[in-house]
């Protein structure tokens, strides 16, 4: 039936409410750059937690999950579920360290951790590389999903719709800064989750699906329901389960799941005065991100395999959509268009637009904070007033949005973007974990890691592009043989991780260490402790300088790792308990809930032992 008058009315009402929330929460945002980018460091911890998860809940997130489920089954979600380990490590090891740094952005970290011109160059380089180029890359992925949604559901020209939404995003994000974004995130995330749950319920109850039992028993889903891939298919088991759990979570830099924290997650941590509130906000983010959100999308994705078993069926159903955009990720929007009645369709589309806008607004503010604090204010105009910084922040926000929209026009699918992002970040993750706890890492280490990852990734991408015919047949030449694409992806990923890691470790030992004075100041400010700083502590003691003075200096990483372990078990158990209850395997679901309860009790016990100010 398409969009009706009632759906358009709901959509207009949503935009009005959003603009009102953004306007009334924007007071004092332009007072100074701290207010504009860190909301004055006084936001409630739960608002920060919801904002983190809202930023990672983009409109391309359900389409990415749909793409994964249709191509590899429910178990393929381990490609991102594995990042829970990264998130829990950030919660219990790094959140308090970031809070102690009191920097404006995580790029500012480089000039308190490293020394010399290389540290300054690294800060400026990453402000452009991540704040502009990589940020445009990520925002474009969400914009691509918006284009597909506009074309399929709204049945309007996608590009004008994207431009109008971009203008609305720019209005409240440039007017109110981070504070307006945080409060609109709370409103948008609530709306988005309601829409996702309603969509799953309506799809399951539709005559075509006729209940969960019929859905799960359908022959199209026979090989799609496993929560863990079967070991009888070793290439799949290794590629989407074992490698992500054993290597990917710590080895890959990925937006929203950066090892040690980074990007908009760190921006939220820095927006809170107290260490325990930063930890609480980050834990809430991971709980919502992994345990609360996935199953409504998975249910719709599974149902799409019945309604649209292949790409050709979607092309027939939506002849007006450019065939270039008809990929597996489009199935989520196709299901909404086919299944949702008038009124409800408007609510769900508004929820998806809310998801899109919350993500893009946060990324724009985050990227702009890099460009203002780490490039403009640090190198271009060192004497810039607070008003000048805010003005430049608003201009850079507009610039990021424009380039992101343009780049979205050349992308094809959400999974394509996800895979390229994993490749570019492969092998860099370990350095972001160790730089807090090993004194020997320097600015050259990080530069070489970033450059090596990009170079090795490009080499593999170029090789794949020259072998596109064989890849289309499911195999690729490897020495004198051909191997499946699953094995090739494993070899490619492990190779990039190993080559990048060897590169930055080699560079670390071939270059001079950080100046002693910088290392000592960093140690006293951050208080990381541990054997990785023993050289600095002992050398300082020999010179009559005492660095460890009180309890807050003690090393509590072992306790943090225990919290990470029990926190991960607790959240994974909730995730799988939900799955088993939906599958009708109630006994397994019950035991998963018991495991979650026990893990939570142990988590609370060890959490109290952490050294937190």
| Whole-angstrom distance, CA of residue 518 vs CA of residue 521 | 5
| Whole-angstrom distance, CA of residue 374 vs CA of residue 353 | 31
Q: Residue 552 is encoded by which pair of tokens?
A: 């807050």
The predicted-structure confidence for 86-137, as pLDDT tens digits, reads as follows 989 988 988 888 888 887 778 888 889 998 888 888 888 888 888 888 788 7
* pLDDT the model gives residue 379: 79
What does R_g of the chain's alpha carbons equal in angstroms? 24
The number of residues in the chain equals 613
- Measured in whole angstroms, the distance separating CA 114 from the mean position of its chain's CA atoms is 27
Kindly state the average pLDDT of the residues 144-162. 69
Nearest to 489 by CA among 253, 249, 235, 246: 235
Residue 226 within any structural domain of the chain: no
108 close to 374: Cβ distance less than 8 angstroms: yes
Predicted model pTM: 0.83
* pLDDT the model gives residue 191: 77
181 close to 361: Cβ distance less than 8 angstroms: yes
588 has a pLDDT exceeding 90: yes
Residue 173 within any structural domain of the chain: no
| Whole-angstrom distance, CA of residue 282 vs CA of residue 298 | 24
Residue 108 within any structural domain of the chain: no
572 has a pLDDT exceeding 90: yes
Residue 309 CB-half CA count within 13 A: 6
Q: Residue 311 is encoded by which pair of tokens?
A: 């790409």
Residue 567 within any structural domain of the chain: yes
| Whole-angstrom distance, CA of residue 158 vs CA of residue 169 | 17
* Weakest-pLDDT range from 192-196, 296-300, 353-357, 541-545: 353-357
The predicted-structure confidence for 14-25, as pLDDT tens digits, reads as follows 778 777 766 665
Burial tier of 166 (Cβ tally within 10 Å: 0-12, 13-18, 19+): buried
| Whole-angstrom distance, CA of residue 29 vs CA of residue 39 | 7
Q: In the chain, what's the furthest Cα-to-Cα distance?
A: 79
Highest mean pLDDT pick, 265-269, 466-470, 508-512: 508-512
In 3-state terms, what secondary structure has residue 412?
A: coil
Residue 602 within any structural domain of the chain: yes
| Whole-angstrom distance, CA of residue 375 vs CA of residue 367 | 11
pLDDT, mean over the chain? 81
Sign of the torsion formed by the C-alpha atoms of 579, 582, 585 and 586: positive
* pLDDT the model gives residue 587: 93
594 has a pLDDT exceeding 90: yes
Using CA atoms, how far residue 66 sits from 304, 390, 446, in Å, is: 8, 39, 35
Give the contacts of 456 (CB within 8 A, at least 6 positions apart).
426, 427, 495, 496, 499, 500
Q: Which band of pLDDT confidence, cut at 50, 70 and 90, is reported for residue 500? A: very high
* pLDDT the model gives residue 31: 54
Q: Output DSSP code: residue 340.
A: P
Q: Residue 521 is encoded by which pair of tokens?
A: 């100041």
Q: What whole-number percentage of the chain has pLDDT above 70?
A: 84
In 3-state terms, what secondary structure has residue 446?
A: helix
The DSSP bridge partners found for residue 252 are 426
* Total structural domains within the chain: 1
Nearest to 439 by CA among 526, 374, 552: 526
Q: What whole-number percentage of the chain has pLDDT above 90?
A: 24
Angle at the Cα of 64 from the Cα atoms of 63 and 69, rounded to 5 degrees: 95
Residue 577 within any structural domain of the chain: yes
The DSSP bridge partners found for residue 484 are 475
* pLDDT the model gives residue 589: 93
The predicted-structure confidence for 34-51, as pLDDT tens digits, reads as follows 555 555 556 777 777 787
Instruction: Phi first, then psi: give them for residue 566, nearest 5 degrees.
Output: -70, -35
Using CA atoms, how far residue 585 sits from 221, 291, 401, 576, 610, in Å, is: 17, 18, 46, 11, 37
| Whole-angstrom distance, CA of residue 561 vs CA of residue 605 | 13
| Whole-angstrom distance, CA of residue 568 vs CA of residue 559 | 14
259 has a pLDDT exceeding 60: yes
Residue 384 within any structural domain of the chain: no
| Whole-angstrom distance, CA of residue 405 vs CA of residue 424 | 21
The predicted-structure confidence for 388-426, as pLDDT tens digits, reads as follows 777 787 788 888 888 887 777 766 555 566 666 767 777
The predicted-structure confidence for 442-481, as pLDDT tens digits, reads as follows 999 999 998 898 899 888 878 777 766 565 566 676 666 6
Residue 612 within any structural domain of the chain: yes
* pLDDT the model gives residue 53: 79
Give the contacts of 330 (CB within 8 A, at least 6 positions apart).
63, 148, 152, 314, 321
Q: Which band of pLDDT confidence, cut at 50, 70 and 90, is reported for residue 600? A: very high
Sign of the torsion formed by the C-alpha atoms of 202, 191, 261 and 424: positive
Which structural domain, as residue segments, surrounds residue 581? 557-613
């Amino acid at each position: 039936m398409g969009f009706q008058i009632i759906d358009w009315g709901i959509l207009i009402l949503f935009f009005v409410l959003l603009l009102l929330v953004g306007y009334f929460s924007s007071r004092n945002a332009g007072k100074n750059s701290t207010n504009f980018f860190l909301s004055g460091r006084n936001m409630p911890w739960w608002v920060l937690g919801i904002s983190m998860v809202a930023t990672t809940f983009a409109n391309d997130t359900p389409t990415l999950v749909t793409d994964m489920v249709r191509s590899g089954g429910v178990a393929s979600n381990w490609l991102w579920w594995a990042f829970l380990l990264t998130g829990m490590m950030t919660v219990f090891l790094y959140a308090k360290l970031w809070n102690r740094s009191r920097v404006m952005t995580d790029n500012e970290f480089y000039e308190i951790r490293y020394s010399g011109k290389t540290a300054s160059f690294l800060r400026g380089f990453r402000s452009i590389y991540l704040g502009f180029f990589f940020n445009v890359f990520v925002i474009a992925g969400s914009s691509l999903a918006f284009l597909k949604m506009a074309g399929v559901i709204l049945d309007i020209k996608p590009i004008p719709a994207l431009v109008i939404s971009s203008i609305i995003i720019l209005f409240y994000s440039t007017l109110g800064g981070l504070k307006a974004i945080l409060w609109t995130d709370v409103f948008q995330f609530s709306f988005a989750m309601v829409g996702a749950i309603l969509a799953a319920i309506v799809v399951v109850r539709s005559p075509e699906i006729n209940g969960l039992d019929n859905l799960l028993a359908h022959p199209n889903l026979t090989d799609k329901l496993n929560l863990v891939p079967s070991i009888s298919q070793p290439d799949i088991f290794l590629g989407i389960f074992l490698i992500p759990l054993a290597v990917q979570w710590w080895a890959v830099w990925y937006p929203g799941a950066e090892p040690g924290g980074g990007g908009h997650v760190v921006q939220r941590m820095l927006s809170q005065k107290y260490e325990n509130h930063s930890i609480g906000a980050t834990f809430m983010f991971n709980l919502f991100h992994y345990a609360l959100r996935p199953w409504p999308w998975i249910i719709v994705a599974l149902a799409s395999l019945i309604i649209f078993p292949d790409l050709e069926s979607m092309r027939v159903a939506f002849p007006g959509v450019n065939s270039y955009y008809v990929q597996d990720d489009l199935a989520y929007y196709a299901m909404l268009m086919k299944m949702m009645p008038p009124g409800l369709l408007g609510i769900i589309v508004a929820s998806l637009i809310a998801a899109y806008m919350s993500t893009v607004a946060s990324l724009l503010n985050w990227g702009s904070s890099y460009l203002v604090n780490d490039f403009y204010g640090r190198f271009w105009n060192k004497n810039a007033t607070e008003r000048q910084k805010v003005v430049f922040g608003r201009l850079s926000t507009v610039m990021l949005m424009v380039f992101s929209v343009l780049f979205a026009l050349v992308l094809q699918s959400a999974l394509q973007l996800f895979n390229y992002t994993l490749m570019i970040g492969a092998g860099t993750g370990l350095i972001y974990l160790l730089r807090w706890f090993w004194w020997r890492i320097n600015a050259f280490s990080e530069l070489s890691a970033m450059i090596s990852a990009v170079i090795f990734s490009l080499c593999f991408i170029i090789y794949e592009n020259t072998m596109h015919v064989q890849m289309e047949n499911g195999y690729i030449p490897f020495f004198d043989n051909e191997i499946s694409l699953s094995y090739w992806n494993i070899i490619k990923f492990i190779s990039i991780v190993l080559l990048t890691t060897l590169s930055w470790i080699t560079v670390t030992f071939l270059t001079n260490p950080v100046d002693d004075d910088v290392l000592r100041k960093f140690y006293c400010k951050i208080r990381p402790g541990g054997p990785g700083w023993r050289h600095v502590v002992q050398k300082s003691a020999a010179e009559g300088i005492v660095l460890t003075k009180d309890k807050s200096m003690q090393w509590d990483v072992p306790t943090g790792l225990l919290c990470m372990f029990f926190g991960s078990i607790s959240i994974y158990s909730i995730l799988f308990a939900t799955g088993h209850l939906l599958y009708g395997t109630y006994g397994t679901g019950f035991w998963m809930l018991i495991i979650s309860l026990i893990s939570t009790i142990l988590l609370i016990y060890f959490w109290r032992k952490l050294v937190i100010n």
